Structure 1
Amino acid sequence: MSADPTRHAPADDSNEAARAVLVGVDLGPGSSFDPTLDELALLAESAGDEPVARVTAKRKSPDPALFVGSGKADEIKLLVQAHHAHGVIFDQALSPAQQRNLERHLGVPVADRTALILEIFAARAQSHEGKLQVELARLQYLSTRLVRRWSHLERQRGGVGHRGGPGEAQIELDRRMIGDRIKSVKERLERVKRQRSTQRRARERSGTFKVSLVGYTNAGKSTLFNSMVKARTYAADQLFATLDTTTRSLYLGEAGRSVSLSDTVGFIRDLPHKLVEAFRATLQEAADADLLLHVIDASSPVLLEQQQEVERVLEEIGAEHIPQILVYNKLDQIEVEQRPRVPDDEIERAAGVRVPRVFVSALTGEGLPRLRELIAAHAAPALNSEPDAFILPDGSSAPRH
């Protein structure tokens, strides 16, 4: 019988962080494995949990029953008891049977990476479209299991269109109800998609040059967006601080014209495919852009892996052929002696294509004037060929005379 998630909940304060044991398994070549579990810890903290212990294991293949095997499961159980943990979070995806078996064995709720990301998205989505997309992804996940995490999260207001909490602790939706709801949400998303398509066609008719920010989560996209357009998009040093696409007009004095700049959801390793599918409408902003600003955390020790993951997702959504500027952000976090010798250059990518690279600090503004020049250089041919109207600094258009 699965563990009761209320049994191990914080007793006094519903806002108290739930203590979690983190588990990662190295399944050999071809599998994603983070030996430090740092990213999983950041995800857990973003969901309001407190990582209290980390466990790693190495296996040739997952154990069909417990994923980690009975010996490692016993080790995890001892850690749960020693730290009075409220739950266990796995860095890999678990099957419904593995999750149930682990909960029985460990005596606490168990969540996997997919459930954790879905939970964060449910809490952070603000727009109508974002909430619909998260709800669809969560319902598709729930169609194979009933996910229930620790109770301090279940007492929160659900962010996916239901009155209950994220885990629907009081109402177990059966598969028929979930199927009906999935159909309804998909229909509503199709309507939103058509509206977005209409808006995009309107921008295309106005001759607007479209620039989209893309990058790994927490690379500083929203901070850069705010610095460039003087907006107030929420930005924080955490994973998935913002989920909804925001578009503003960016006036380029270097070109004497404006372009549209969009801030999109951050990418992450092993982003659940259900979320890639559900967020396709949002990611379409990137796929329809004329230029991508690929924001990279220059201070990250795994920046190459993060860059490759973003490139992989861009290919998945059909945006791999769009021109890019590589924006190496967080220059302020790099020691002076380790900083690049030149503020911008070009690097060679696949098939001999050279891509401009610029080093900036969205926080201090260093390098931003050069970034604006590079954007203007890319936009100039399209803007100069537009015959009917010009765009004012406030984003409105006026006829040419």
Structure 2
Amino acid sequence: MTPVLSKRATRGAPERRSPEARLDEAVGLAAAIDLEVVFQATVPLSEIRPATYLGTGKVEEIEGVVRAEAVDLVFFDAALSPVQQRNLEKAWSTKVVDRTALILEIFGTRARTKEGTLQVELAHLNYQRSRLVRSWTHLERQRGGFGFLGGPGETQIEADRRLIGERIVRIEKELEQVKRTRGLHRKSRKKVPYPVVALVGYTNAGKSTLFNRLTRAEVMAQDLLFATLDPTLRAVALPHGTRIILSDTVGFISELPTQLVAAFRATLEEVLEADVILHVRDISHPDTEAQAADVADVLTDLGVDPQPGGRVVEVWNKIDRLSPEEREQVANQVQRLASLDGPVPVSALTGEGTDDLLALIEQRITSDRVTVEVTLPAEDGEGLGWLYRHGEVLERSTDEAGAVHVALRLPPDRAHLVARRFGARRVHPL
């Protein structure tokens, strides 16, 4: 597959990124789905043409490139209307996809869990329905993705509104069942006093590499956009024994298709309920500030206050890529912002700074917890097990009479449960 990448800059609202940075990201999107880029360009526009998006001269210029390079696909890093897409395909005699279609294709090839697959297919169908009648292959495809890019052995089926609508209804019912199951899992986790810490960040910021570093897991971590799509959970022991559940999530991106924002909201429920949210930033990226602003926008849309000092802690990743001068600048910035409990500079690749990060997480998790002391008869094994299930046991000892003394830390709302079960005289705040 050999695409032409066309990147645009238009007059109007100010861009967070330079045209060159947007083009680099567009090339990254193509690379994420193994497309060979034979031509790339930024196209400045004074106005958007309703029929072809680009002006006539630019359409003819790109037509020459398409013919000279025998291009199979043109990726347009913008949202094209059905009419614009159809007219450009006719003018260039090749397949044309816009930003939404390509991101959906990437998600379609990466989703692994049932929930992820259903969510992507729902987003794909909503996208197709917005195009009235298009070709789709989700029932008969022989490869990953959703057929936007075509492929050998695929059959294209003309889908009408009724067929798409019926499939959407079925998927939504299946998703509801999956969400109920996830809800039950979250409810069962709440019975165990493990706080949830969620990783969020711009795609390719290094979340999965950091997740692997902290959990010693082997989640897919590659230098690709959207390397992680499905949420992954692992238990982690912090320096002083506190256990947490760490959640890795899908990476955010600017101008995420609205269909995917809605479809992946369930995936981000772990973020909504997290006790601490780690906003992982690629501090070495030239557009790190713009990426951080995009992540803040998504968090705000989800109802999460993105400002540091609340639940959000900024993690400045990839410091191993910085020059000595840049590292010094970052150190000065960190010192100025230290009062906000962050940011924490780390290298997920080398492990530098991760001990400081774990210590900060533990400090945030335990800052509002109550420490109590409980004395149990030697024969009360059931009560001892109950304490281990409902609190974080810090110390345990047995006196000469056989009584068991347990010091444990737990959320304030659980302290009364301990008092009620073991008697107020046996519970003493330390």
TM-score range, shorter chain: 0.7 to 0.9
Residue 325 (1) aligns with residue 313 (2): yes
Q: Which amino acid aligns with 1:141?
A: Y
- CA offset digits 1:68-89 (Å, max 9, x no partner): 1211111111111222211111
Residue 217 (1) aligns with residue 203 (2): yes
- Residue 49 of structure 2 corresponds to 63
The whole-number CA distance in structure 2 between the counterparts of 1:219 and 1:285 is 19
Residue 287 (1) aligns with residue 275 (2): no
- Residue 111 of structure 2 corresponds to 125
**SS of the residue aligned with 1:310?**
helix
1:214-363, aligned counterparts within 5 Å?
Answer: 214-254=200-240, 256-320=241-305, 323-340=311-328, 342=331, 345=334, 354-363=340-349
- CA offset digits 1:159-183 (Å, max 9, x no partner): 569xx97996432222110011011
Q: Which amino acid aligns with 1:338?
A: E
1:191-202, aligned counterparts within 5 Å?
Answer: 191-202=177-188
Residue 30 (1) aligns with residue 18 (2): no
- Residue 4 of structure 2 corresponds to 21
The whole-number CA distance in structure 2 between the counterparts of 1:170 and 1:96 is 18
Residue 83 (1) aligns with residue 69 (2): yes
The whole-number CA distance in structure 1 between the counterparts of 2:109 and 2:41 is 27
How many Å apart are 1:186 and its aligned residue?
0.8
- Residue 15 of structure 1 corresponds to none
- The answer (yes or no) to whether the contact 1:24–1:91 under 8 Å persists in 2 is yes
Percent of aligned pairs sharing the same letter? 44
Q: Which amino acid aligns with 1:173?
A: A
**TM score, norm. by length of structure 2:** 0.80
The whole-number CA distance in structure 2 between the counterparts of 1:171 and 1:203 is 44
- Residue 81 of structure 2 corresponds to 95
- The answer (yes or no) to whether the contact 2:104–2:146 under 8 Å persists in 1 is no
1:373-392, aligned counterparts within 5 Å?
Answer: 373-384=359-370, 388=387, 389-390=390-391
Instruction: Give the counterpart of 2:350 among 360, 364, 367.
Output: 364
Residue 48 (1) aligns with residue 31 (2): no
How many Å apart are 1:30 and its aligned residue?
2.0
- What is the aligned length? 371
Q: Which amino acid aligns with 2:271?
A: A
How many Å apart are 1:332 and its aligned residue?
1.0
Unaligned runs of 5+ in 1: 1-17
Change (3 A) 1:147 1:83: farther
- The answer (yes or no) to whether the contact 2:142–2:153 under 8 Å persists in 1 is no
Bigger relative contact order, structure 1 or 2 (CA pairs below 8 A, ≥6 apart) = 1
**SS of the residue aligned with 1:55?**
strand
Change (3 A) 1:95 1:314: same
The whole-number CA distance in structure 2 between the counterparts of 1:183 and 1:360 is 45
- Most deviating of 25-34 and 303-312: 25-34
The whole-number CA distance in structure 2 between the counterparts of 1:113 and 1:229 is 34
Change (3 A) 1:136 1:347: farther
Change (3 A) 1:108 1:195: same
- The answer (yes or no) to whether the contact 1:122–1:159 under 8 Å persists in 2 is yes
The whole-number CA distance in structure 1 between the counterparts of 2:153 and 2:304 is 34
**SS of the residue aligned with 1:326?**
strand
- Structure showing greater Rg: 2
**SS of the residue aligned with 1:280?**
coil
How many Å apart are 1:43 and its aligned residue?
0.3
How many Å apart are 1:195 and its aligned residue?
1.5
- Most deviating of 281-290 and 312-321: 312-321
- The answer (yes or no) to whether the contact 1:21–1:88 under 8 Å persists in 2 is yes
Unaligned runs of 5+ in 2: 374-386, 395-409, 411-416, 423-430
Q: Which amino acid aligns with 2:66?
A: V
The whole-number CA distance in structure 1 between the counterparts of 2:153 and 2:276 is 40
- CA offset digits 1:40-64 (Å, max 9, x no partner): 1010111121111122222243100
The whole-number CA distance in structure 1 between the counterparts of 2:392 and 2:158 is 53
How many Å apart are 1:117 and its aligned residue?
0.3
- CA offset digits 1:292-345 (Å, max 9, x no partner): 110000110000000000000011111226511111111111112321363983
1:152-171, aligned counterparts within 5 Å?
Answer: 156-159=142-145, 169-171=155-157
How many Å apart are 1:136 and its aligned residue?
0.2
- CA offset digits 1:250-279 (Å, max 9, x no partner): 10123x210110000000011001001000
**SS of the residue aligned with 2:60?**
helix
The whole-number CA distance in structure 2 between the counterparts of 1:170 and 1:319 is 42
- The answer (yes or no) to whether the contact 2:111–2:117 under 8 Å persists in 1 is yes
Q: Which amino acid aligns with 2:243?
A: S
How many Å apart are 1:355 and its aligned residue?
4.8
The whole-number CA distance in structure 2 between the counterparts of 1:167 and 1:29 is 44
Change (3 A) 1:137 1:155: closer
- The answer (yes or no) to whether the contact 1:130–1:243 under 8 Å persists in 2 is yes
- CA offset digits 1:90-126 (Å, max 9, x no partner): 1111001100000001111100010000000000000
**SS of the residue aligned with 2:236?**
strand
- Most deviating of 138-147 and 357-366: 138-147
- The answer (yes or no) to whether the contact 2:106–2:145 under 8 Å persists in 1 is no
The whole-number CA distance in structure 2 between the counterparts of 1:371 and 1:343 is 18
